[in-house]
Chain A
Amino acid sequence: MSTPLLRAVNIHKRFDTVEVLKGIDLTVEQGQVVSLIGASGSGKTTLLRCVNLLEEYQVGEIYLEQEQIGYRSQGGRRKRLREGLVSSQRARIGMVFQSYNLFPHMNAERNVMLGLTEVQGKPVAEARDIAQHWLDRVGLADRKDHYPYQLSGGQQQRVAIARAVAMEPKLMLFDEVTSALDPELVAEVLGVMQALAESGMTMLVVSHEMLFVREISSQVVYMDGGRIAAQGPPRELFGQPPERLQQFLGHFRGVLER
C-alpha cells in the first residue's frame, strides 16, 4: 500500500474551553478528492485550517508526504516549527477561502504571480507565463489586468483558485468556496474545481454543495460535533446513510433527488 499524501492523527483542538475537534483521524490518498460535510460548528473548516496551520491544535499530528506539518516532537513534547519552515510547508499546500481574499491592490495577474516570484523565486517573465496559463485555465485570460473590485464574485474566486494552483501544490484545500456566491455564479467555480479534480489534483474540500460533493468525491467524511461520524465513498454514504447523516442530508433532499 502506498503512503497517503495527507495523514491527520488524533487531532484535538480547543478554542479556550470549547473543544471543537475531538480526535480526528483522516487520510487522503494521492489524487483523491475528499469532501468534509456536516452542520455549521461541526469542525470541518477548523480541521481544514489546521492542515496548513492557520489554526494551531493542542494534540495530534498532521503529515504531508510523511513530513510532519508545523510541529516536531522532541523528547515526547511537541514544538512548533520556526515561522520560516512553516511558511515553506504552507507553500506546498494551496488554499482557497470562502471570501476569496484576493489582494485588492494587485490585478488578477499579479495576484497569481506574487507567490511564484516571492515564495518560489521564479523570474518575473516565467511567473507571468504561468499566471497567464492558469488564468486561461480558469477562463479569465482576458481579465488579467482587472483588479478584484472589477471582477464578479465567481471571477474573483476563480482567480483565487488560479493563484493557489499556480504554485503547483501537493494538496488543495477548499473552504466553502461557493458559499459567498450568488447561485448563478456557483456553477462556474464548481466547474473549475471539477476540472482540477479530473486532472488528478488531490483535494480536501469543505462544501455544502451536496450534489457536487456526490459527483466529484472519492471519499466523503461526515463530521458531527468535532468527530468524524461517518465516512465512505459517496455512493455508499449517500445510498445508505447512518441515522444522524440521514437527518443532516434531509436538509438537502430537494437537491439530492434531482
Chain B
Amino acid sequence: MGEPGTFLYEAWIARYALLKGMAVTAEMSFIVIVIGTFIGLIGGLCLQYAVAPLRWLVRAYVDIMRGIPVLVLILFTFYGLSLFNISIPAFGAGVVALAAFCGAHMSEVVRGAISSIPYAQTEAAKALGLGFWKRFRFVILPQATRRMLPPAINTAVEIVKSTTLLSVIGVVELLLATQQTIARNYLVIQFYLAACVLYLIINFTISQLGALVERRFAYIKY
C-alpha cells in the first residue's frame, strides 16, 4: 500500500469515509429524483390540464423554484425554517430543498412532453369514447414518456451535481467527505480527482440507464 503520504496509502485509509460519502450522494440523489419525478408527474398534469386556480398555483411553484438558486433554497430550508421553530436534520433539509427544486424542473419537463403530443391524438382517443384518464394512460403518456426521457435524464444528472451544495449545511456527502479527507492528508489534487471519478461513475450510470429506457421506447416513430 506504499508509504503514508502517498495517494494509494491515504486512499486506503479514507476508503470507508469516501465510499460512505458516495453512498450518501447516491442515496440522496435517488430519493430526490424519485420524489421529484412524482411531483413532476402531478405538477406537469396540473400545468397542462388543471382548472385555472390550481394551474396558477403550480405555475407559481414552478417559476419560484426555478428562479431561486439551489444553494439559497438549501440554506433557507435548513436555517430559515428553524426561525419558525421547525428544525429538520441536515439530510432531511437537503431532501426537502432538492426535491422541491427537482419537482419544479420535472413538472416543466412533463408539461412540455405532454403538450408536444399533437391534439389530434387526444381527439382520436375521445372519438373512440375513452375518458380522460384512459386517454392519458394509453394514448398520451406512452408517447410523452419517450419525449420526456432526455430532459428528465438531464435533470437527474443536475440533481446529482446539486447534492454537492448540501456540504454547506453539513451533510457528509461525497464532496464534504473528500474535503475532510484532504484536511487530513493535504493531497488536494489527487482526492478532488478521485471525487470527480466517483461522481462520473454515478452520472454515467444514470445516463446509461436513461439510454436503455430510451431504446425501449425507440419503436415509437412518426
Q: Chain A residues in contact with chain B, CB under 8 A?
A: 52-54, 83-84, 87-95, 97, 99, 101-105, 114-115, 118-119, 147, 149, 163-164, 167
Contact = CB atoms under 8 A, between A and B. Distances in A.
Contact of B134 (A103, A118, A147, A167): A118
Given A101-B123, A118-B138, A84 B131 contact: yes
Given A104-B221, A105-B220, 15 more contacts: A52-B126, A52-B127, A87-B131, A90-B129, A91-B129, A97-B124, A97-B127, A101-B121, A105-B219, A114-B130, A115-B129, A115-B130, A118-B138, A119-B128, A167-B128
24 contacts: A52-B126, A53-B126, A54-B126, A54-B127, A87-B129, A87-B131, A88-B129, A90-B126, A90-B128, A95-B127, A97-B120, A99-B120, A101-B124, A104-B221, A114-B138, A115-B129, A118-B130, A118-B138, A119-B128, A119-B130, A119-B134, A147-B221, A149-B222, A167-B128
Contacts of B146: 105
B139 interface: yes
Contacts of B220: 104-105
B92 interface: no
Most buried by A among B124, B139, B146, B219: B124
B84 to A, nearest CB: 42
Contacts of B138: 103, 114, 118
A94 B127 contact: yes
A206 B84 CA distance: 66
Interface string B105-146: 000000000000000110111111111101000110011001
Contacts of A99: 120
A53 B122 CA distance: 13
Across the A-B interface, the 9 shortest Cβ-Cβ residue pairs? A91-B129, A101-B124, A115-B128, A95-B127, A119-B129, A149-B221, A105-B220, A90-B129, A87-B131
Contact of A104 (B131, B134, B143): B143
Interface string B82-110: 00000000000000000000000000000
Most buried by B among A91, A97, A103, A149: A103
Contacts, number: 73
Contacts of A83: 131-132
The majority secondary structure among interface residues of chain B is helix
Nearest to B131: A87
A226 B219 CA distance: 43
Interface residues of B, number: 22
Interface of B: 120-121, 123-132, 134, 138-139, 142-143, 146, 219-222
Contact of A105 (B123, B124, B143): B143
Contacts of A149: 221-222
Given A114-B138, A118-B138, A149-B221, A103 B127 contact: no
A142 to B, nearest CB: 19
A93 B138 CA distance: 20
Nearest to A116: B128
A87 B222 contact: no
Contacts of B221: 104, 147, 149
A84 to B, nearest CB: 6
Contacts of B219: 105, 147
B175 to A, nearest CB: 41
Nearest to B142: A105
Contact of B120 (A87, A101, A119): A101
Contacts of B120: 97, 99, 101
B117 to A, nearest CB: 10
Contacts of A93: 127
